């Protein structure tokens, strides 16, 4: 009997090699995620809505991971779409479902994660720190001292993996994992005494430590671990991963990566503006040089010059050439985008800057809801100047939900810091924000305004009879407190 021919072999022999090459070339292109991204013109990036990753600042995207991702999007010539989610499991799930191209979320590379994901090049190494509140808890300096303590960590985190590994040698070590908390929520729980200890990455600890002076490091566990972007484990992602290597090599060599790390993981740039002593010195040596300009602009925009002076001091210490690490410049520290919107051609021209800042404040003031009366209306506008109208409105909504009056600054300022907590900001329209910063911002300006007012009254008033003189400071204090 004659054997049947192998039809597949015949077909393969019959097909010209050029046709085969074209077919495989088509398959390769369709399975190349980098090429697909370029053709679509947009790259979708999952992230965490938090201080060290991604958030909105005065209506502008900000955050360390955002800046890195934006740089990469520019590098490959596409637009960037950031997709914030709450919880680490959502990141891995959405990557596996194809809802994004990669995740930029401060993710550490671990053995367990390698089973599900492929990682880009590491851009930073961090330590995993056990921390405690020295005000509420006795000193902790060993794993043994953690046994019996209430330890809280994020679910699906590298910290949970670390604790599981430690438990092999310390069976009595216990902890609680939470799916809906971010690092800041755990820090708040530690501050409030709801937990005795937690584990945080060193970059997040140093970014937040200024807000928690009582927190101390108990110990650093294990060797430093790398942070990297994560992708679904798929051969189609290999060209994307290779392009990430090119990008990170470039920003390491040109110093951009080091500048971003310094910018986002050092103390708040506004902390140096808090000293009353420094303010009083600046009143003597700098204010006389700019007071005339401030008074002129204040007249033009129907503002109290002392109020405008207080804002400009908070922004720049009355330095016309001031520049912050975030790129805002001039007497009123305007962003380039805001300056263009306001018609300011030269941000370093003090008169232009003052006029631009005054216009911006008045514009915000006009957009505050009509139900808000003075002086609260002014404080609301100041908060919006710092954080943006969107986040301010989110805080007003939270204030009403929590039983406060959204038209009163004293109630809203209690709720603004909630925008740092996942359980609150995930319910809002604009998401995470450093809500404590506008609180301090407004507080500082009110304080400076009071000092300027007091100084003005004492410099130019006609000395009253002694009995009135004895009464004057108390009266002034009451008027200051009214603000």
> What CATH number should be reported for the domain whose range is 271-458?
1.10.530.10
Buried b (16+ CB within 10 A) or exposed e, 300-310: eeebebbbbbb
> Quick check: 402 pLDDT over 90?
yes
Q: State the chain's mean pLDDT as an integer.
A: 84
pLDDT (0 to 100) of residue 395: 97
**pLDDT tens-digit readout, 290-335:** 999 999 999 999 999 999 999 999 999 999 888 877 678 888 988 8
Q: Who wins on pLDDT, 19 or 113?
A: 113
pLDDT (0 to 100) of residue 149: 95
> Quick check: 8 pLDDT over 60?
no
What is the mean predicted confidence (pLDDT) over 213-240? 92
> Quick check: 28 pLDDT over 70?
no
> Quick check: 2 pLDDT over 50?
no
**pLDDT tens-digit readout, 162-218:** 999 999 999 999 999 988 888 888 998 999 999 999 999 998 887 777 668 789 999
Q: Is the peptide bond before 375 cis (omega within 30 degrees of 0)?
A: yes
pLDDT (0 to 100) of residue 266: 57
Report domain extents, the chain. 124-225, 271-458
**pLDDT tens-digit readout, 423-478:** 999 999 999 999 999 999 998 898 888 778 767 655 554 444 443 333 344 444 34
The predicted model scores a pTM of 0.64
Q: Considering the domain delimited by 124-225, tell me its CATH architecture.
A: 3-Layer(aba) Sandwich (3.40)
**pLDDT tens-digit readout, 77-110:** 999 999 998 888 889 999 999 999 999 999 999 9
Return the active site residues: 315
What is the mean predicted confidence (pLDDT) over 367-376? 89
> What's the rounded Cα separation, in Å, for the pair 304 and 34?
56
């Amino acid at each position: 009997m004659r054997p049947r021919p192998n039809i597949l072999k015949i077909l393969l022999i019959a097909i010209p090699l050029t046709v085969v090459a074209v077919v495989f070339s088509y398959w390769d292109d369709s399975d190349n995620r980098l090429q697909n991204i370029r053709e679509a013109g947009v790259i979708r990036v999952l992230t965490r809505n938090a201080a060290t990753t991604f958030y909105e600042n005065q209506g502008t995207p900000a955050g360390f991971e955002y800046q890195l991702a934006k740089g990469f999007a520019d590098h490959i010539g596409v637009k960037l779409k950031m997709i914030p989610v709450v919880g680490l499991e959502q990141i891995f799930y959405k990557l596996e479902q194809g809802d994004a191209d990669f995740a930029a979320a401060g993710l550490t590379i671990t053995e367990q994660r390698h089973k599900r994901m492929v990682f880009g090049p590491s851009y930073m190494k961090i330590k995993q720190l056990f921390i405690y509140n020295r005000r509420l808890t006795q000193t902790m300096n060993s794993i043994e001292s953690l046994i019996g303590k209430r330890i809280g960590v994020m679910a699906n985190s590298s910290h949970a993996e670390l604790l599981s590994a430690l438990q092999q040698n310390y069976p009595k070590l216990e902890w609680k994992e939470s799916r809906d908390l971010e690092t800041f929520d755990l820090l708040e729980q530690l501050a409030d005494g709801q937990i005795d200890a937690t584990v945080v990455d060193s970059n997040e600890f140093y970014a937040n430590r200024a807000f928690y002076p009582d927190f101390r490091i108990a110990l650093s566990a294990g060797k430093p671990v790398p942070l990297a972007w994560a992708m679904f484990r798929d051969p189609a992602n290999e060209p994307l991963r290779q392009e990430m290597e090119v990008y990170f090599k470039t920003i390491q060599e040109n110093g951009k990566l080091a500048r971003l790390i310094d910018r986002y993981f050092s103390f708040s740039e506004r902390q140096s503006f808090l000293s009353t002593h420094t303010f009083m010195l600046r009143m003597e040596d700098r204010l006389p040089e700019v007071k005339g300009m401030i008074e002129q602009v204040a007249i033009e925009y129907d503002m109290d010059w002392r109020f405008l002076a207080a804002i400009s001091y908070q922004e720049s210490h009355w330095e016309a050439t001031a520049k912050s690490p975030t790129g805002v410049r001039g007497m009123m520290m305007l962003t380039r985008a805001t300056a263009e919107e306001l018609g300011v051609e030269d941000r370093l021209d003090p008169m232009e800057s003052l006029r631009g800042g005054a216009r911006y404040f008045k514009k915000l003031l006009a957009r505050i809801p009509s139900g808000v009366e003075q002086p609260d209306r002014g404080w609301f506008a100041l908060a919006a100047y710092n954080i943006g109208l969107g986040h301010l409105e989110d805080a007003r909504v939270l204030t009403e939900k929590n039983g406060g009056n959204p038209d009163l600054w004293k109630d809203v300022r209690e709720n603004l810091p909630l925008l740092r907590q996942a359980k609150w900001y995930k319910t809002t329209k604009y998401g995470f924000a450093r809500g404590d910063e506008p609180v301090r911002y407004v507080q500082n300006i009110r304080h400076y305004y009071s000092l300027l007012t007091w100084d003005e009254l004492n410099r130019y008033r006609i000395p009253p009879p002694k009995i009135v003189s004895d009464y004057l400071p108390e009266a002034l204090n009451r008027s200051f407190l009214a603000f």
